[in-house]
Structure formats: C-alpha cells, structure tokens
Amino acid sequence: MFYCILCYNRESELQAWTREKEATVMAQREAVAHALATQGRLGPVGRLMPTTTAMTVRASRETLVLDGPFAETKEQLLGIYFVDCKSLEDALSVARSLAGDTGALEVRPLAQFYPGIGLQ
C-alpha cells in the first residue's frame, strides 16, 4: 500500500526561522527520505512554494480562478497531481481540465522536486 504524507506547518513561522533551524529540520527530513530511497520505497517528494504563489481553480457552473491558496475548511484534501508545466497559465489550464464540474484544485508551484521511483 502506498501512503501519501502531507506536511503542515505555519508558513509565517517557517519564514521567520533562522538558517540553522531550517537546515536542522531539512537535514532530519532528508535523512529519513534518504533511508526510504535506499530501500526503494520513496515516491515523488516535493517542497511547495509559499502559499502566496498559489491559485485556486474552483468548479461551479462556470470555472472560477482565484488568487491565493485553497482556504476552505469544509472540504478535505482528496488527491494530488504532480505535473510538469511550462507556465502558471499552463498549470491553470491543466487544473481547469481536471476540475470538471465539482471540487476545487489548488495550483501551487514546487520549490524542490524529487521524482522518486516509479511506483507500481
């Protein structure tokens, strides 16, 4: 069984971290990821850019494109895609085509990406 592990934290705090703190946290996480990779168990890993870069595509009668991250608390995170896009506009059009007539999709660029093994 594959599991997706989602990382949450207060962004404003991360942005106030010292370089040492940032390095310590990242080193600890990278050590775990490295061990998983050696065991052939690590799929794609990505570090998201700040929420200030995010846009949200919301499906309704007509598809809405909004500035900012997905902020509703009444809907739950149900899935995730990693897509290589030429531009933000390109990413938004992928999200629009995925949206269909239901749900919301947040489009957020990745700051870092590790493709991992092709999971079967």
Partner 1 sequence: MTDIAWIGAALTAARPQAVAALLRYFRNLDVAEEAFQEACLRALKSWPVNGPPRDPAAWCIFVGRNSALDEMRRRNKHDSLPEDDLIADSDEDPEAAMVERLDSSAYQDDVLRLLFICCQPDLPATQQIAVALRIVSGLSVQEIASAFLVSEAAMAQRLTRAKRVMMKSAVAFETPGPVERAERLNTVAAMIYLLFNEGYSASGGDAHVRVPLCEEAIRLGRLLLRLFPSETEIMGLTALMLLQHARATARLDENNNIVLLDDQDRGRWNREMLNEGLVLVEKAQRQGIPGTYQLQAALAAVHARAARPQDTDWSQIDQIYAILEALQPSPVITLNRAVAVSKVRGAAAALQMLQPLAQPLGSYFHYFGVKGALLKDLGRTDEAREAFNKAICLARTAAEAAHIRMNLDKLDS
Q: Is 50 in the site for partner 1 (CB under 8 A)?
A: yes
Give Cα 49 distance to the centre of its chain. 8
Which residue, 71 or 117, is less far from partner 1 as judged by CB?
A: 71
In the complex, least distance from residue 23 CB atom to partner 1, rounded to whole angstroms: 11
Q: Tell me the CA distances in angstroms from 74 to 51, 70, 71, 82, 103, one per residue in order.
A: 19, 11, 9, 24, 11
Which residue, 84 or 89, is less far from partner 1 as judged by CB?
A: 89
Q: Is 89 in the site for partner 1 (CB under 8 A)?
A: yes
Which residues fall within 8 angstroms of residue 80, CB to CB, at 6 or more apart? 4
| Of the residues 28, 51, 60, 97, which one makes contact with partner 1 according to CB under 8 A | 51
